Structures are given as C-alpha cells and as structure tokens.
Amino acid sequence: MSGRAIVSTFSSQLEVQCQSSQRALAKLREIAHLVEEDYYRGTNRMAILRLHREFMHAIIDTWREVESGSVVVDSVQVLRAVRYINAPDLWGLLAEPIMKHPRVLREIRLLINLLENVTRPHSAAGAGPQD
C-alpha cells in the first residue's frame, strides 16, 4: 500500500468523471461574456467562434463518456439534441454577418440551463444525484 488513502465520494467522482461537461459550461459562459462585450464594444468574432469550437469538443467528449458508460446523464435525448441541433444552431447564430446579440444570449442561457439542470452528468460508478 502506498500510504495514501483513496477517498471516493460522489462529488470527487463527478469532478473527475465529468470534466468535459464542466468544460462545456465554462466555454458557454466565456462565449456569453464575449457576446456581451461584442454588443457594447465590438470584439474579435474569431475568438467567439474559437470558443464555440472548444465548446463543441467538450460536448463531444461528454457524449463519448456517456457512450463508454463512464458518465451517466439524466437525459441522453437532451444531450443528443444539444450535440446535434442546439450547438450547430448556435454556431450559425454566432457566424451571422450581423450578430443578433439578444437571441444569441438567450440560446446560450438555454444551453447552460439544459446542461446544468436536465442532462446533469454524474459518475456511472455513483448512484447519481439525490434529489
């Protein structure tokens, strides 16, 4: 034995196993910040699109974790919709020549709420969140 105790709690499993989901949420929040900044001061649109690409990678990683069974979500259907419909739609809104900031921000808030409250990833090893 190495002398180190291994502590396995649901929260630590969630933190380790669902980093891609947390990364996706962080990227969405960064996008929202830049979109707000763009509305008031103008910003580099390429930076926003780069963040969206990173968000997509995080969603794809979350999807792969769900497929492999290492992460369980409360709604696979919603995660599938986020991956294949909502995220590409957001890309389209962000890439429009004249961005409709209020609509983009509403879509981002919707995605954040879906990821936080509907899909709710948790470790497959744990029993899941208790409500």
Q: Residue 3: which pLDDT band, with cuts at 50, 70 and 90?
A: very low
The predicted pLDDT at position 16 comes to: 42
Contact criterion met (CB below 8 Å) for 71 and 62: yes
Please, which residues have CB within 8 angstroms of residue 13's CB and are 6 or more apart in sequence?
122, 123, 125, 126
Q: Which of 104, 123, 107 is nearest to 34 (CA)?
A: 104
Structure confidence by residue, pLDDT tens digits, 7-40: 333 344 444 446 888 999 999 999 999 999 988 8
Distance (Å, whole) CA 39 – CA 54? 22
Stretch 92-105: mean pLDDT, rounded?
A: 95
pLDDT over 90 at 44, yes or no: no
DSSP string, the chain: --SPPPP--HHHHHHHHTHHHHHHHHHHHHHHHHHHHHHHH---HHHHHHHHHHHHHHHHHHHHHHHHTSEE-S-HHHHHHIIIIIHHHHHHHHHSSS--HHHHHHHHHHHHHIIIIII--EESSS-----
Nearest to 48 by CA among 40, 37, 59, 57: 37
pLDDT exceeds 80 at position 120? no
- Percent of the chain topping pLDDT 70: 79
Q: How confident is the model at residue 1 (pLDDT cuts 50, 70, 90)?
A: very low
Q: What percent of the chain has pLDDT over 90?
A: 58
Closest CA to 19 of 49, 75, 62: 62
Rounded CA gap, 95 and 113, in Å? 23
